[in-house]
C-alpha cells in the first residue's frame, strides 16, 4: 500500500501558484486542492514572490501565474516552466486590458487561454489549451465570475491531461494587440450619446465598473458624474 501511495505521489504534478487579484485567489484556492497536484506554494503578492522564489526547488513542474501584472525575470522563465491564463482567444487581444477592450468592442463569446509565459514575448508564448468564456454581465464582478468558472474548468482539464498535451505556437501575424487603458480613456463625451448605439454605451460603462476607472461624463466646469452600475434591457426581452 505504501509503495502504491509513493508511486502515485511521484506522478503528481508539483505546482507553485501566483496571483494577487481577488478572482485569481479564488481560482488558486479551488485548483490547489486538486488531487492530482502537489501545491508547493501559494503566493498572493509581489513581496511574497520576491522573498520566496529562490526557495522553490528545480523539480517543480510549473509556476502558474493568474492575474499577474509584473514581468517575470528571464532567469525564472528559463529555470522553470511558467504558465499563465489570459482572458482572450489568443493571439487576439494580446497586451493590456483584454477584458475591457473585448467588451467595449462588443465581444460576448471569447476564451480563456493557458499559455507559456515569456520575458520577451508579451502574451505570445505557446498555447496549451483554451476554454470558452462568456463576457456577459452588467458589471465586472459578474464577468469575473465567468472568468473564474471558465478558468477552473480549463485548469481541471489541463491537470488531468498534462502529460499528454503538446503546446502550439500562435500565429502572431493574425492576432491583435492592445495597450493597457488609461483612466482618461474612461470619459464619455456628450456627443457620444447621439452617435453611439445604446448597447455600445452599455458595453463601455459595464466594462469600466469597479475595480477599473469608471466611465464618466464631464461638464464645461470640470464636474464629473461616474457610472458604476448599468442595466441594458432589450425591448423584446423586457
Domain edge (last residue) among 159, 178, 197: 178
| Closest among 34, 28, 45 to 84, alpha carbons compared | 28
pTM of the predicted structure, to 2 decimals: 0.90
What pLDDT score does 238 carry? 54
pLDDT in tens, 12-37: 899 999 999 999 999 999 999 999 99
Residue 225 grid cell: 458624474
Query: CA geometry: angle at 133 spanning 131 and 135, to 5°?
Result: 170
- My answer on whether 189 and 172 are in the same domain is no
Note the pLDDT tens digit of each residue in 35-81.
999 999 999 999 999 999 988 988 899 999 998 888 888 889 989 99
| Mean pLDDT over each residue of the chain, to the nearest integer | 91
- pLDDT reading at 1 higher than 80: no
Does 215 lie in the same domain as 101?
no
Residue 237 within any structural domain of the chain: no
Question: From CA 45, how far away is CA 115, in angstroms rounded?
Answer: 21
**CATH number (domain holding residue 217):** 3.10.25
Give tens-digit pLDDT for 176-211: 999 999 999 999 998 999 999 999 999 999 999 999
pLDDT for residue 236 is more than 90: no
Amino acid at each position: 500500500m505504501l509503495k502504491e501511495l509513493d508511486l502515485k505521489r511521484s506522478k503528481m504534478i508539483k505546482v507553485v501558484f501566483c496571483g494577487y487579484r481577488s478572482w485569481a485567489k479564488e481560482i488558486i484556492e479551488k485548483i490547489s486542492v486538486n488531487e492530482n497536484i502537489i501545491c508547493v506554494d501559494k503566493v498572493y503578492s509581489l513581496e511574497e514572490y520576491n522573498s520566496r522564489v529562490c526557495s522553490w526547488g528545480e523539480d517543480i513542474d510549473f509556476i502558474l501565474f493568474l492575474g499577474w501584472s509584473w514581468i517575470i525575470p528571464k532567469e525564472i522563465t528559463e529555470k522553470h516552466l511558467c504558465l499563465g491564463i489570459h482572458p482572450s482567444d489568443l493571439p487576439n487581444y494580446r497586451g493590456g486590458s483584454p477584458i475591457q477592450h473585448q467588451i467595449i468592442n462588443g465581444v460576448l463569446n471569447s476564451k480563456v487561454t493557458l499559455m507559456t509565459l515569456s520575458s520577451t514575448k508579451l502574451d505570445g508564448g505557446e498555447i496549451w489549451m483554451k476554454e470558452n468564456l462568456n463576457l456577459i454581465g452588467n458589471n465586472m464582478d459578474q464577468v469575473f465570475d465567468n472568468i473564474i468558472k471558465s478558468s477552473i474548468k480549463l485548469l481541471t482539464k489541463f491537470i488531468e491531461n498534462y502529460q499528454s498535451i503538446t503546446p502550439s505556437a500562435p500565429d502572431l501575424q493574425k492576432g491583435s494587440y492592445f495597450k493597457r487603458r488609461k483612466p482618461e480613456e474612461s470619459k464619455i463625451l456628450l456627443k457620444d450619446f447621439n452617435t453611439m448605439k445604446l448597447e455600445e454605451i452599455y458595453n463601455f460603462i459595464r466594462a469600466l465598473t469597479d475595480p477599473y476607472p469608471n466611465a464618466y461624463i464631464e461638464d464645461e466646469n470640470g464636474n464629473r458624474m461616474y457610472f458604476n452600475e448599468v442595466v441594458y434591457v432589450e425591448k423584446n426581452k423586457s
